[in-house]
Structure 1
Amino acid sequence: MAAGLVGRKAVAEGFRACGVCERCRSGETSLCAGGYAETGFTEPGAFADHLTVPARLLHPLADDADLRAAALLEPAAVIAAAVRAGRPRPGERVAVVGAGTLGLLAVQLLAASSPAELVVVDPRAGRGEQARAFGASASGAPDEAAALHGRFDLVVETAGAPSTAASSCLLARRGGRVVLTGMFAPGATGIDPVHLSLSQLELRSVFGAPSAAWSDAVRAFGLGLLDPAPLITHEFPLERFAAAVALVGSGDPTVGKVLLRP
């Protein structure tokens, strides 16, 4: 690491792209063909006593950056990739499907594009209220969304629920854009190819984030356009790891992100 970086606050990309394959050289580092490698999965992660990552994956932060909030820059980078793919323009009608971590971060970034409408669809009223606090103009449950079919220029899906890929496409206007970011399980409802074809939708999917999207997320964080801190609902010292994991798996709807402090 360069001497000037020693002691700097920084965040590191998770995917360890090879940097030399055709996709990496095209800037699509999340599509690296060099084999899957990711910090915390194929390589030691943050539970290790020491964490070493290639310096090229580091994104320096401002000296006064809130590291508590910066812990959520990885999902923010995924959403930054989705926003890049969706290309929001001022004055457009935008919908976000799902108000979990990804959805609420999407609301923050999409609000910065000055949409005419920014509607969030989620069955949890409390999450809808939080989305409105983050910049959404309205929120509603999925069973209310039928009245909004064909309305939106851009739909960003973040839930990964069995029906949300298909329902997101129904929300888009003819010629609209849909970006899927949720992690779907086998058996999810398929997208109607007739609707996709006749409506001439532009459909993109996002998995992980390329380096450019990480840069977007870090810049937005530094400018105050993105603040993940309110998504953290609980903090534990590392010694209470078991209690933290139990809380995450409890199913309690009031539990957001749980932060472990070393």
Structure 2
Amino acid sequence: MTEARSVLVEAPGRHRLVTAAAPPEPGPGEVRVAVHAAGVCASDREVYEGTRAEGYVRYPVVPGHEWSGTVAAVGPGTDPALVGRKTTGEGFRACGTCDRCRTGETSLCTAGYEETGFTRPGAFADHLVLPARLLHLLPDDADLTAAALLEPAAVVAAAVLRAAPRAAERVAVVGAGTLGLLAVQLLAAASPAELTAVDPRKRPGEQARAFGAHHAATPEEAAGLHGRFDLVVETAGAPGTARDACLLARRGGRVVLTGLPAPGAHGIDPVHLAVSQLTVAGVFGAPPAAWAHATRAFAAGLLRPAALITHQLPLESFGVAVELVGSGDPEVGKVLLKP
């Protein structure tokens, strides 16, 4: 067997590339995936900097929860026909037996939080081991580089499924980063009468229009659109964007929050919520139904994440990738690590 490398974050601010003598062996019901690409996101930067919320990371850890690859080996009791299949997979290691899991709400598992790349070894490595039940298989001709973005696409799919967009509605997406631009693509497929992306940066606004948005607006311009939209999907996680999303919704409208702001974010006015009779939902992670929706949309060409990728770096450049993600440079889109 060949050597197996992985990026190990030993503690906040300290990482190294480690090499094992052989790839990890999958156990019963597990598979080993040869990682093709893994996305670096703000959550990975939080892991590295030590700012992720207590209980949602366990050091030392190999990060990497957005990934694609090919099944290289299976453990005892696992279907050998999986070997050679292109795939991506869910990150939450839900128990599968609690009340929430039994209803399909695996991201609300009451057994405790466990997730690939945060409390379990992740995909910033040559190989990843995970339960076969978490796989979402891809077509043989799938673009594996683009497929590395299916984890954020699944989060967006969870938001869209919760939002239940209807044709001819007025829809806004607050934030045109990776999540926002994926949301624009899925929402455009629902045939809205108006689809507006709100972001202070010029380049993401242009990309949003290329992906199906009718308009792009800065937050200042969006202030003139308060009360206009039937549905607002918030993806930015900036201090004021949850509040702004609620202001953009019409009375009786729907708001879905997917961004995770840092502590100290502006609160949502409860009087506005009550008087406007808004329906507000939150999304954290993605249940299996959302993963299935995202992978189907990807296979059908409704999701086109490849255009969001701006940087592809080797595992050795993890530190550079983290700096890029946190740089604030509007020319930096999705950053991938490729073993």
Would the TM-score normalized by the shorter structure come out above 0.5? yes
Structure 2 partner of 1:199: 276
Partners of 1:49 and 1:133 lie apart in 2 by 34
Residue ranges of structure 2 left out of the alignment (5+ in a row): 1-77
* Structure exhibiting the larger radius of gyration computed from Cα positions: 2
Matched, 1:83 2:160: yes
Number of aligned residues: 262
SS at match of 2:251: strand
Partners of 2:124 and 2:198 lie apart in 1 by 35
Structure 2 partner of 1:149: 226
Partners of 1:254 and 1:67 lie apart in 2 by 23
1:125–1:140 Cα contact (<8 Å) kept:
no
Partners of 2:137 and 2:166 lie apart in 1 by 29
SS at match of 1:225: coil
State the TM-score, normalizing by the size of structure 2.
Answer: 0.75
2:309–2:333 Cα contact (<8 Å) kept:
yes
Structure 2 partner of 1:44: 121
In the alignment, which of 54, 57, 61 is matched to residue 138 of structure 2? 61
Partners of 1:48 and 1:146 lie apart in 2 by 44
One-letter amino acid of the counterpart of residue 32, structure 1: C
In the alignment, which of 100, 104, 112 is matched to residue 27 of structure 1? 104
1:94–1:118 Cα contact (<8 Å) kept:
yes
Partners of 2:212 and 2:127 lie apart in 1 by 39
Partners of 2:316 and 2:100 lie apart in 1 by 41
SS at match of 1:94: strand
In the alignment, which of 291, 304, 308 is matched to residue 227 of structure 1? 304
Matched, 1:17 2:94: yes
One-letter amino acid of the counterpart of residue 150, structure 2: L
Q: CA deviation at 1:48?
A: 4.0
Query: Structure 1 or 2: larger helix share?
Result: 1
SS at match of 2:223: helix
Structure 1 partner of 2:184: 107
In the alignment, which of 206, 225, 229 is matched to residue 129 of structure 1? 206
SS at match of 2:255: strand
Structure 2 partner of 1:210: 287
Structure 2 partner of 1:166: 243
Q: Which range moved further: 240-249 or 158-167?
A: 240-249
Partners of 1:248 and 1:96 lie apart in 2 by 21
Q: CA deviation at 1:240?
A: 3.1
Partners of 1:37 and 1:199 lie apart in 2 by 37
> RMSD in angstroms over aligned alpha carbons?
1.1
